[in-house]
Amino acid sequence: MVNILMNFILQMPNAKPFLFTSMSPALLHLYNASQATVVIIDVLRATSTIATALFNGAKYIIPVDSVAKCIELGRQINCVTAGERDGKIAEGLSYGNSPFEYSRLFIGGKILVLTTTNGTRLLHMALEKGAREIVTGSFVNLDVVAEYLLQQKNNVILACAAWKDRINIEDTLFAGAVIEKIREHFNIECDASHIAANLYHKASGDLFDFMQRNNASHFNRLMAYGLEKDIRYCLEPNLANVLPIYEAGKLKIY
């Protein structure tokens, strides 16, 4: 019934596509991914690192949902195996999830196989839910994500990776930043989207300060690991303005 209604609305001339925000992977099942472009959001740090590695010339990225798969692929193909668990380089992998590890000099022309606690897990959940299309977003590629969504005129789910299913501030802020840019062109009947847009409105003057003042949990975790530089980079708009799009197991630049 929902599908029939959705198709009917899409066929109406001038009907705006829908935009929803899923603030946690645990809520993704509430939305119709098969009719939407799903934007995977993991600002700290998976989707910031993905955009950065591709911007710096990585051939493509294979996102995998377990450390074991990452290690296995590393044995089969010539690639860089990387990933984290709980914010630290995962045992058995050579590299972590810091955007600063993926300079042009290091990653240019290489294949990156990446597994992260929340970001790559959510991407695989979206795949299982039959997402029509999957792209990744973060502040470092904010404008290109917003432009793509405007150009596609497709339904959108802004899917926050959060932290182990618990809603987080940074992914909600990014959803709000996207909504601020494209809201006029979408039908937004979704309180989570309104919350995200309002939060971003409050925070946009200084995202780092906002996260600090509000005791953001993963912000605190990364600060405790001495990764302030990573956080500041990940909150900066448009430093790696490319659009990673998922096709046949790979994230590539659109």
- Interface with ligand MLT (CB under 6 A): 42, 44-46, 84, 87, 97, 116-119, 161
Q: How far is the CB of 188 from ligand MLT (least distance, A)?
A: 27
Which residues 6+ apart lie within 8 Å of 96 measured at CB? 82, 83, 84, 88, 89, 90
Residues paired with residue 61 on neighbouring β-strands, in sequence order: 112, 251
**Element containing residue 169 per DSSP (H, E):** helix 169-182
Q: How far is the CB of 14 from ligand MLT (least distance, A)?
A: 39
| Nearest CB to ligand MLT, comparing residues 18 and 45 | 45
| Nearest CB to ligand MLT, comparing residues 22 and 84 | 84
| Nearest CB to ligand MLT, comparing residues 117 and 136 | 117
Distances (CA, A) of 242 to 32, 42, 54, 58, 73: 26, 16, 7, 12, 25
Q: How far is the CB of 98 from ligand MLT (least distance, A)?
A: 8
| Nearest CB to ligand MLT, comparing residues 32 and 116 | 116
Q: How far is the CB of 216 from ligand MLT (least distance, A)?
A: 12
Residue nearest to ligand MLT (CB): 116
Query: How far, in Å, CA of 109 to CA of 233, rounded?
Result: 23
Place of tokens 């590695």: 53
Q: How far is the CB of 157 from ligand MLT (least distance, A)?
A: 18
Distances (CA, A) of 53 to 97, 119, 165, 199, 247: 10, 15, 26, 29, 17
| Nearest CB to ligand MLT, comparing residues 70 and 197 | 70
